[in-house]
Structure 1
Amino acid sequence: MTPVLDLAGIFVFALSGALEGVRKRLDVVGMVVLAFFTAVGGGIMRDLFIGVQPAAFRDAGYLLVPIAATAIAFLWHPQVERAMPGVLVFDAAGLGLFCAVGTTKALHAGLAPLHAVLLGVCTAVGGGVIRDVLSGEMPTLLYDRQLYAVPAMLGSTAMAILYTAGVRGFAATLFSALLAFTFRILAMRFGWRAPLARGIRGSG
């Protein structure tokens, strides 16, 4: 992942965390905390699992970008909320990018494809889980009714298959990221939902 794409994905995720802080009426410190862990929490978890120093602790950009996103949400959150449909498109792009790159890093570290897929999903959605826990909400990962983790799993699986088949580098990452992105966009567009247990009716 190039630094520009990496930081762009971090910015979008951080913005969603900062906006959650606004909704929860947190002060600016709480907003920064939510923004930071939403943006880089998944990557930190992945790096700790594979035994390397998290990139978030080596590069100042991983802290400065969430702070910038928090400042934008702090000053202009009504305008940002109105622009959320567009922001969600970038969020879907970040989801695809992070799941593909997370899977690749896990495979590079020597993990089996199945475990690499799990860490790829963790990279993409782990920050959102931390955000939900810190803000007192049930993690959306546990009721993936808006198909967020499923696209990440699809992209991670594609990345693992391509890597195992010897197809690596930018082309494999782009294909896997686009697959997850497209599935997420279609899920939002057509209201696709994950199934509930037999006999259980959803609330919407």
Structure 2
Amino acid sequence: MNLVRLLDFTGVGVFAVSGALAAGARRLDLIGVIVIATVTAVGGGTLRDLLMNRTVFWFADPAYLIAIFVAAALTMVYVRFRHPPLRQLEIADALGLAMFSISGARIAQNAGLADLIVVVIAVITGTFGGVVRDVLCNEIPMILRRGKMYASTVIIGASFYVLAPRLGVQSDVAGLAGMALIAALRLAAIVWNLKLPVFDLERHRRAP
């Protein structure tokens, strides 16, 4: 199993966990949990493949769906015996964000796309599933929450992945380092409530 495929499987599994936890927080039934887990796990990769005119990854290999269903089922069993703190949803999302974003970046890079487009594809791959999850769960999407360090962490990590090989870093090492950077920045933002500056037009209008 190559690194891209491994990251894809791990990413969909972790995102399925975050989707199942989000569905549980909304007290959805079994079908609701499966639906939210699935769209969370495949949303970003599906949009990536459609934009790149590729065969959608889970069409080509239904094993991804099996991994999603297993991850969602294990999550439901786990929470019956141990109630996870709400922060676990954010942690699971952060790990999925890191893995799936770099997976998307590698796919875009292997397709010969320009570096800027590689970073854009990484953002789409990592964030779109969470956007769909949050919309279906009637939440403001994480990527749009005021001041949240979310897509910005992907931009930083994916940019590092693109630029590091020019400094002599091996591609696989750059991928793992980019993934670690995204996860570390997102987890730091969760733990210490780090935020981006907010553009407040009304405040500027009130200023003398």
Q: Decide: shared fold, TM above 0.5.
A: yes
Counterpart of 1:132 (choices 111, 129, 134) is 134
> Residues 176-191 of structure 1 correspond to what in structure 2 (within 5 A)?
176-191=178-193
Aligned to 2:52: 50
> Kindly tell me: are residues 113 and 14 of structure 1, through their superposed partners in 2, closer, same or farther at Cα, counting changes over 3 Å?
same
Give the secondary structure class of the aligned counterpart of 2:113: coil
TM-score (norm 1): 0.84
> Kindly tell me: are residues 164 and 101 of structure 1, through their superposed partners in 2, closer, same or farther at Cα, counting changes over 3 Å?
farther
Contact map agreement 2:4 2:107 (CA 8 A) in 1: no
Partner Cα distance (1:180, 1:79) in 2: 31
Partner Cα distance (2:139, 2:75) in 1: 20
Contact map agreement 2:7 2:100 (CA 8 A) in 1: no
> Kindly tell me: are residues 50 and 89 of structure 1, through their superposed partners in 2, closer, same or farther at Cα, counting changes over 3 Å?
same
> Kindly tell me: are residues 25 and 85 of structure 1, through their superposed partners in 2, closer, same or farther at Cα, counting changes over 3 Å?
closer
Aligned to 1:115: 117
Counterpart of 2:77 (choices 72, 75, 90) is 75
Aligned to 1:172: 174
Aligned to 2:65: 63
Measured after TM superposition, the shift of residue 168 of structure 1 is 5.0
Partner Cα distance (1:93, 1:8) in 2: 9
Larger Rg: 2
Contact map agreement 2:10 2:99 (CA 8 A) in 1: no
Unaligned runs of 5+ in 1: none
Give the secondary structure class of the aligned counterpart of 2:64: helix
> Kindly tell me: are residues 74 and 93 of structure 1, through their superposed partners in 2, closer, same or farther at Cα, counting changes over 3 Å?
closer
Contact map agreement 2:147 2:196 (CA 8 A) in 1: yes
Runs of at least 4 residues off by over 6 Å: none
CA distances 1:14-38 after superposition (whole Å, capped 9, x unpaired): 0111122122232211211110111
**AA in 2 matched with 1:59:** D
**AA in 1 matched with 2:161:** M
> Kindly tell me: are residues 144 and 160 of structure 1, through their superposed partners in 2, closer, same or farther at Cα, counting changes over 3 Å?
farther
Length, aligned pairs only: 200
Partner Cα distance (2:50, 2:116) in 1: 18
Determine what percentage of the aligned residue pairs are the same residue. Answer: 34
Give the secondary structure class of the aligned counterpart of 2:181: helix
